[in-house]
Structures are given as C-alpha cells and as structure tokens.
Amino acid sequence: MAAGVNGPAGGVGPPRAGGVRRVLVIQPFWGRPSNRFLERHLEMLGGCGALAAVAVLYPTLRRSWRGIPVVSLSDSASAAGRGRWLARALLRRIGLTPSWLGRRPEDGLRRLLEARPVDAILCQYATTAAALWEPLREAPGALFVHLHGADTVESMCPSGHRERLLEIASRALIICNSQQTRRVVTGWGLSDQRLVVKPLGVEVPVRAPERPRRDQVTVLQLGRLVGAKGAGRTIRAFERACEQGLQGRLLLVGDGPLAAVCDRLVADSRWRSRMVRKGAVAWEEGRRLRREADIATQHNQEDPATGQVEAFGVAIVEAMAEGLPVVGTRSGGVVEIVVDGVTGILVEPGDEEGQAAALLRLASDPELRRAMGAEGWLRARDHFSVEREAQQLLGILGVE
C-alpha cells in the first residue's frame, strides 16, 4: 500500500478490513475523445474487480459500462428523467430553472452512496470534487481526488476554487498527473504530505513500430485546439519549414475553441495544399493517424488568454508509444516526458523558427527519426505504460 494513503500523513479514512475492495469513480462527463485516460482508469479498476460504480456529474444517457452501473448525478435513469433533462436545457436557454426539474447532483451522490457502500472514492478533477464537496466531506471511507491540469488554472475554475481545494485536501489524498501540477498546487499552499504524483499511462505496443524511410513526411499535431497547445504556431512553423525545403504535409487533428482560427490560418496559407485539417477523432482513429505519421509536434506554451500550460501531455506520450520522434517545447509537463536530443527536439515556447528548423532536421534525416522514435517507444514503455500506471494507481488507492 502506498505510504501516506491511510496513515497520519495521508489523513484519509482507513479502508475496510482487508483493504480496499469497492471503489466508486466520479467523473464530470462521459466519452470525450480527448479524455481517453478516464476510461483507462475504469479499465484498471474493473480489471481487478474493484470498480463498484461510476458516477457522472453531468447528464449522460449511459447506464452501464461492462456490467458496472453508471449513474448520472444530475438526472434520473428513467425516460422521464431524460425528458426532464431536455426540458431543463430548453428552459435554461430562456433563463428559467424550475426546481421541479431534475435533481441536485449532491443529492444524487448521497443516494448512490446509501445504495452502494464503498471503501474508497476516486474523484476525477478537483472541480468535480468541489461541486460535490458537501456529500464527499461526509462520505465514509478513503477519498482521492485526481488533478489533471485544467483544474489548477484559476482563470478556468469557479471563484474560490483555490480555497476549496485546500479544504478538500484536509480530507482527501490529492493525486497529481505530473510534477508540473504538483508545483502549481504546492504554490497554492497544499502540503506535499497531501500529494502524490502519478503520471498517466498509455497503450504501448509490444515492439516499436517500424516506418518506411519516406522523403515526403507527415507531421502530426493531434489534440485539443486550445491556446496552451499552440496549433497556430505549429502552422506557422510548418510554413517556414516548407519555405526552407521541407517535403511533406501537416496533419492537424482536433477540435476546440481555436478550431475556427486554425481553419482560417490553413485556408490563408500559401502551403494550404500541404495541410490537412480533421476534427476530433476517436482514440482508435488517432492511433491509425499516429501510425501513418513520421513526426509528432506540438507547440506548447502558456495560453495568453487563460494562463494555462500543458500539465502533462497525453498526446505526446501516445506519439512516443508509436515510435514517433517529437518536436515540442520546454513548457509545463512536456519536459517531464520528452528527453531533448534523445526522444525528440525541444525548443523554447514561442520559437517558431526553432520548431521549423527541428521539423526540417528530422524530415531530412530518416535515421535520426528512427533512432529518436525508438528511444521514445522505450521511454513510453518504461515510464508511461498503462500497466505501470495501473500498478501505481491501485497501490495509491490501496486496492487488494
């Protein structure tokens, strides 16, 4: 069992005799392509029989997952409940929120815990824990809150979020997805004794995928189109690389608030015939695209609008797992993943010329791409596999 989880330093309630056997996972939503890691956690717990139920904060029509109950905390599971959900959405559009529609998520969680006693609760995102803090504070058993980065950006969270997280940490063990996230919350005043760092894991092939030695390369940026991932800078860096002789195409995949901006940049580019835009794709399609690519890139930076930086970088780890060399930046959690000069090339955030030069260098050197890709696969296998994360997660939770 992980040190500090159930001892005085952890400060959380002890599990039932014999260790944790039944875990309730609470997550804000269900099935977003960019949040495959939430399903991975369910698979880890379900695989050892410890997953008792899944509670979803926002409405979902799903009622089970692999035989495990999925409960929407915002609406009942009945057809009438789904009707109330739709009616409430329509009424909210005109400024009305009648009390007779739906139910409070806090009440839904209380009823769930009464019906299904558990030994531990794993709450995904601090914002989810904050929204359900009243019943979580009173719930028996151990409480764990998993931070994922966006829930540590104050400009993106409700007012008073920092103070609420400090209160939550008096009851829960806080799991950070990276050292970057840990640094942020320790800066808020959370004690290191309340924190544990556990990187996210991805599916890593048994052997490093081999790619043909192509002269025409495919450069892939796959992920949410938000300011912290710098897709606009990647487009401009790719243009510069093409001007300097790069032969190939840019595949920009993802959706998000900057999708329209990226679409305009592509449409206005003299190199638009070499750029392909796709919206959000399922994880399986993302794997296929990674296997067709030659170089992965992402221009991480501090989002000028929100102050967000990349807390971890799941898309980068997934690219490394598929044997892709990475061109990235020294920003946030990226430096914990990519080893500069070994698994890829890192430049300073904002250095589009440097990103262009790195893309051009890899595009013109198939052997360097192969060597860095192989090292990236090894690093993903040794440090960021789902098997490694499962062992860490189950140890932190105290699951037998």
Q: Which CATH architecture has domain 217-383?
A: 3-Layer(aba) Sandwich (3.40)
Domain residue spans of the chain: 23-201+385-397, 217-383
Cα–Cα dist 327/234, whole Å = 10
Cα angle: 366, vertex 368, 374; to 5 degrees:
105
Instruction: Scan for tokens 């998993």, then name that residue.
Output: 146
Q: pLDDT per position in the chain (400 positions), as tens?
A: 333 333 333 334 434 434 789 999 999 999 888 889 999 999 999 999 999 999 999 988 899 999 999 999 986 433 344 444 454 555 455 555 444 344 689 999 999 999 999 999 999 999 999 999 999 999 999 999 999 999 999 999 999 999 999 999 999 999 999 999 999 999 999 999 999 999 999 999 999 888 888 889 999 999 999 999 999 999 999 999 999 999 999 999 999 999 999 999 999 999 999 999 999 999 999 999 999 999 999 999 999 999 999 999 999 999 999 999 999 999 999 999 999 999 999 999 999 999 999 999 999 999 999 999 999 999 999 999 999 999 999 999 999 7
What the block records as the tokens of 128 is 């989810």
Two domains, one topology: 23-201+385-397 and 217-383:
yes
Helices and strands counted in the chain (H then E): 14, 14
Domain 23-201+385-397 class in CATH: alpha beta
Buried/exposed code over 58-91 (b: 16+ C-beta within 10 A; e: otherwise): bbbeeeebeeebbbbbbbeeeeebeebbeebeee
